[in-house]
Each structure stands twice: as C-alpha cells, then as structure tokens.
Amino acid sequence: DIQLTQSPSSLSASVGDRVTITCQASQDITNYLNWYQQKPGKAPKLLIYDASNLETGVPSRFSGSGSGTHFTFTISSLQPEDIATYYCQQYHLPRTFGQGTKLEIK
Amino acid sequence: QVQLQESGPGLVKPSQTLSLTCTVSGGSISTGSYSWTWIRQPAGKGLEWIGHIYITGSTNYNPSLKSRVTLSIDTSKNQFSLKLSSVTAADTAVYYCARETPSGYFYMDVWGKGTTVIVSS
C-alpha cells in the first residue's frame, strides 16, 4: 500500500495567514492525489483533485500543487470557516489517506 | 443532485456481521461509470478506505479487510451495501458511503453523512 505522510499533524494560524500543508507519498504517484476538508461531525468534502484542480464551487483561496511524491496544499488567506481537518488521499489501489492535519485558529 | 444516505444497525455484537446500505437519491446508480465506495473513520482518527463496487459488480477491497468484506449493489433499489463479518471493537467507527468519479481522475465527490456503528456486547 502507498503511505501518505502529512505534516504538520496540527497547525494553529491567524485569520488572513497563508497556510501550507504537505503530503509525502511513499512512492511515485504522479499526480494521483486529492485533498479533502472535514469539519467536526461532518463528512469529508472534496477540495482539490488530481493534485491541483479546484473542485467546482470551492473558493479560490484553496490550491494544490506537486507531483511524484511531494505535494502541497495551500490556503492563501485563512478564514474562520476553514477550521477543519484536512486529508490528502491517493487513488492508486488500495486508496489511502494521509493521517490528517488539524487546523485551528490562533 | 445526487445524495447518499447510509442506513443500518447502530449496534453490532462482537463476532457478528455488520451490514449497512447506502441509498442513492437524485439520480440513478446505473448512470455513468462511477464506483460506489465505503470509507470508515474510528472516533478521533483518520479515514480508512474499505472498498468500492461498480454497477457491473466488479469490486476492489482494502487488503487489510478483504477477508471479511463483501460489497454488493442493487440497481433496482438504487442501493449498494457493505457486509463486514467477524467484527470486533476495532470495527467501531463512523461508516461513510461515497461516489467516486469514473475513469480519468478518481475522486470522491459525493458523500453520505455517515452512520455510527458500535461493536459491543
């Protein structure tokens, strides 16, 4: 199985800050990587697919980049409603998720 | 738009079989080449992919669960189902069903709200 390692595991930032989360794959996954946002008690929500494509309706302050084994997820200007846990996910078989990054407001 | 809803017992005894159903509304489960997916999340922990099924009946399972998992699909009822046998407390989790897009980019764009299953005697 392909392992995904996210860093940091938790992050505290201020409104308006630029926030970056990284996801490292245990082997080359080209651009087969998605990013999800999960708020407490809710199902995950797709934000970014195929490493850098913004899902329809998702604010443009969210972005993704990377290929191969190293990927980055960025929020350009943190908003209060962005408080959530973020997961990367690769789509080789079996699908796997990173362990999550919990984002809090400072 | 398509919506998914999980249903099934919230409490299962150890060694028994967990059975859940996901009902698809707002569209036909047979439209397109989507895969229909199950994911679970123990309380306070991360997401684990269980497996998925296509309308052809073709399946892929997480190797860690493969010996205990069976997925099925009923196009006449617009539902797909999960059976997990020989459950233990480690199977206690929120179980989500989701739709994964067809070939090309593979991502889960529609999710159910999740259902909590507790394994306890």
Mutate to test the interface with A, among B2, B38, B47, B49 (most CBs of A within 10 A): B47
Residue pLDDT, tens place only, A64-92: 999 999 999 999 999 999 999 999 999 99
Residue A28 is which amino acid? Answer: D
DSSP code for B23: E
Strands B18-25 and A19-25, bridge-based pairing: unpaired
Residues 35-94 of A with CB under 8 A from B: 36, 38, 42-46, 49-50, 53, 55, 87, 89, 91, 93-94
Structure token pair of residue B108: 């889960």
For each of chain B's 121 residues, which pLDDT tens digit applies? 999 999 999 999 999 999 999 999 999 999 888 999 999 999 999 999 999 999 999 999 999 999 999 999 999 999 999 999 999 999 999 999 999 998 678 999 999 999 999 999 9
Residue with tokens 């005894």: B13
Residue of A nearest to B103 (CA): A91
A31 in helix, strand or coil?
coil
Residue pLDDT, tens place only, B25-60: 999 999 888 999 999 999 999 999 999 999 999 999
Looking at residue B104, its pLDDT comes to 79
CA distances from A56 to A21, B41, B101 (A): 21, 26, 14
Q: Residues 6 or more apart from B65 whose CB is under 8 A from it? A: B50, B51, B84
Q: Do A43 and B96 touch (CB under 8 A)?
A: yes
Structure token pair of residue B4: 């998914």
Dist. CA A64–CA A52, nearest whole Å: 4
